[in-house]
Chain A
Amino acid sequence: MINYLYKIFIEKMITISNLQLRFKEEHIYKNFSLSVQKGEHIAISGDSGKGKSTLLHLLLGFIPDFKGNINIAGIPLTAKNIKAIRKKIAWLPQEIALNFQTVEELFMASFALEINKAHKPSLQEIANIFNTFELSESLLKKDIKEISGGQKQRILLASTLLTKKPIVLLDEPSSALDSKIKKKITDYIMAQDITIIAATHDDYWVAKSDKTIHLN
């Protein structure tokens, strides 16, 4: 509780005010506002098609034709600022087909980018997170086709967290995890001092988050 109150009084990491978004005739967001503090963990829940992923896409500048104001890490979301904003974010979509041969290439894909090269994880960091996520390091040498959906999700989650970005956006981060490992990984992620917004159907994730926004 003290920790949560502390976070609230620190600083706003994301603010959305009077957001309006329409696809053709349908209002996806109408006067939607949200304020996320630094280090706060937000769960976005709601039925499929209610705009959970859309909210993440909006924050990433993938849907520029919205009305209202979005501010990320003190920077207004505009075309001019989008590069600076994206440098502060790590995003893991629900489904991603990165065209790599080995698990190691997949795991290291983020760190091949110029912006993340400085955060390339040490062998110890990899060993630690693999241990927490119950992944064997020998997996790194395997062909991507040989690993399960759950293993792939854990690999990508681990890689996303190791980029050490202040804001992490996750789309259904636990959808392919079985219940035992799901709890362990959720607890680990919730213990991180980073701002997290996750679109999720997962009750445990919702329960562990600081705040839940239910879209309907």
Chain B
Amino acid sequence: MKEIVDISYLELFAGYALMLIPVFVFWYYKTGLVKDTLWATIRMTVQLLLVGFYLDFIFKLDSVLVNIIWVLIMSVIASYTIVQRSRLSYRLFLFPVLLSGIISIAITDAYFLGFVIKLDNVFDARYFIPITGMLLGNTIRTVILSLDSFYKKIDDEQTTYRWYLANGASRKEALQPFMRSALRIAFNPLIATTAIMGLISLPGMMTGQILGGSNPNIAVKYQIMILIIIFSSAILNVVLTIWFSNKIAFDAFDNLRLNIFRKRK
């Protein structure tokens, strides 16, 4: 197996030249996106370089406590992003979203790292941190979509929700059509991505492993497992988030509390 070709900082800088294409197109069509694009690129660069330094440090240290703290920090950031993008109240939703995230990660990580690949130490930094990072990164979008569509639909179609309640349905029964719809909206893209995996796109993790010198067969097996744990982690996360947030999103009469939505500025 050939050694991987490193990218020097000079070459990395040269690679940025490709960003001139989108910047030019955005500028030409006066989209107002040039500043945002440049800012996003700078942020991405700084964040990833910092992550590179951190991970290098954390991998060398490989302390169970530090690894867990690192994953908790990632979970807090992911939860904040989910609540922010779902336009829901930070005060009411941050905790249930975080709790669901941690539980779903704990279950899927424990199963995959402890039972499937049988690591002696499931908190081994080389596995625990990147796998959890991928889980979080790939489930965020699904959780945002499901939370957003679930509560927004109940609000938009309040008469329908009320019709169920008024005709004797329990809250659980009244929420079922909305849960069904939220799951469809959130998981259809994930199902579609899973179905075309390998045909149209080569997934990032597998490509990374191959570039890093792994045998493609091993990389493929890891990729399959990753897609499966993303799926189960996402569904656990969505169901738990909606389940936990239900406790605070409805009043004692089962009416949707309107203060769950963030006020538009």
Contact = CB atoms under 8 A, between A and B. Distances in A.
Q: Do A and B bind each other?
A: yes
A64 B177 CA distance: 24
Interface string A86-119: 1101110101111100000000001001111000
A83 B171 CA distance: 10
Contact of B169 (A61, A82, A97, A113): A113
B255 A113 contact: no
A87 B168 CA distance: 5
Interface residues of A, number: 28
Contacts of B253: 61-62, 64, 79, 82
Nearest to B156: A97
Contacts of A91: 162-163, 166-167
B184 to A, nearest CB: 11
Contacts of A62: 162, 166, 253, 255
A133 B159 CA distance: 25
A93 B162 contact: yes
Contacts of A61: 253-255
Contacts of A174: none
Nearest to B253: A61
Contacts of B167: 86, 89-91, 110, 113, 115-116, 163
A87 to B, nearest CB: 5
B56 interface: no
Interface in B148-163: 157, 159-160, 162-163
B254 A98 contact: no
B249 to A, nearest CB: 15
A60 interface: yes
Task: Please classify how large the interface on chain B is, using the bins under 10, 10 to 19, 20 to 34, 35 or more.
Answer: 20 to 34
B166 A89 contact: yes
A82 B169 CA distance: 11
B164 interface: yes
B215 interface: no
B168 A96 contact: no
B182 to A, nearest CB: 13
Given A64-B253, A116-B168, A98 B181 contact: no
A113 B168 contact: yes
A113 B162 contact: no
Nearest to A56: B166
B160 A86 contact: no
Contacts of B255: 61-62, 64
A31 B170 CA distance: 32
Given A86-B168, A113-B173, A64 B252 contact: yes
Interface string A156-170: 000000010100010
Nearest to B158: A62
Contacts of B170: 83, 114
B160 A115 contact: no
Interface of B: 157, 159-160, 162-170, 173, 177, 181, 251-255
Going nearest first, the 5 A-B pairs with the smallest beta carbon separation are A79-B252, A115-B168, A91-B166, A61-B253, A87-B168
7 contacts: A61-B255, A89-B167, A90-B166, A91-B167, A97-B157, A110-B167, A116-B167
